[in-house]
Amino acid sequence: MIGSAGDDSIAGLKGADLLDGGAGYDTLRYSRDERHGGTKGITANLSTGKVVDGFGTVDTVKNFEAVTGTFSGDRFIGDAKDNTFRGLAGIDSYDGGAGFDTVNLAGETGDGQTHGARVDLRLATGQIIDDGCGNTETLVSIEKIRGTQFGDDIILGAGDAKADGRGGDDRLTAGLGENELRGGDGADTFVFQSAADSPAGTTKRDFIVDFRADEGDRIDLSALGVTLEFAGEAGLSAGSARLAYAYNTDGNTIVSADLDGDGSANLQFLLQGKIALTQEDFILS
The model's pLDDT over 148-195, given as tens digits with 9 standing for 90+, comes to: 999 999 999 999 999 999 999 999 999 999 999 999 999 999 999 999
What is residue 110's predicted lDDT score, i.e. its pLDDT?
A: 77
**What mean pLDDT is predicted for residues 72-89?**
98
- In the predicted structure, residue 37 carries a pLDDT above the cut 80: yes
**What mean pLDDT is predicted for residues 216-238?**
97
The model's pLDDT over 129-148, given as tens digits with 9 standing for 90+, comes to: 999 999 999 999 999 999 99
Helices (H), 239-285: none
Between 7-11, 100-104, 106-110, 228-232, the lowest mean confidence (pLDDT) is in 106-110
Taking the C-alpha atoms of residue 88 and residue 105, their distance in angstroms, rounded to an integer, is 7
What is the overall mean pLDDT for the chain? 97
- In the predicted structure, residue 34 carries a pLDDT above the cut 90: no
Buried b (16+ CB within 10 A) or exposed e, 201-219: eeebbbbbebbeeeeebbb
What is residue 208's predicted lDDT score, i.e. its pLDDT?
A: 99
What is residue 204's predicted lDDT score, i.e. its pLDDT?
A: 87
Nearest to 192 by CA among 67, 282, 71: 282
What is residue 203's predicted lDDT score, i.e. its pLDDT?
A: 82
What domains, with CATH codes, occur in the chain? Answer: 1-113 (2.150.10.10), 151-285 (2.150.10.10)
What is residue 109's predicted lDDT score, i.e. its pLDDT?
A: 81
Bridge-based pairing state of the strands 267-271 and 282-283:
unpaired
**What mean pLDDT is predicted for residues 236-250?**
97
What is residue 44's predicted lDDT score, i.e. its pLDDT?
A: 99
255-to-127, 201, 230, 243, 266 alpha-carbon distances in Å: 30, 11, 11, 7, 11
**What mean pLDDT is predicted for residues 98-124?**
95
Nearest to 81 by CA among 101, 59, 61: 101
First-to-last CA distance in the chain?
58
Q: Which residues pair with 242 in a beta bridge?
A: 229, 258
**What mean pLDDT is predicted for residues 50-72?**
97
What is residue 111's predicted lDDT score, i.e. its pLDDT?
A: 84
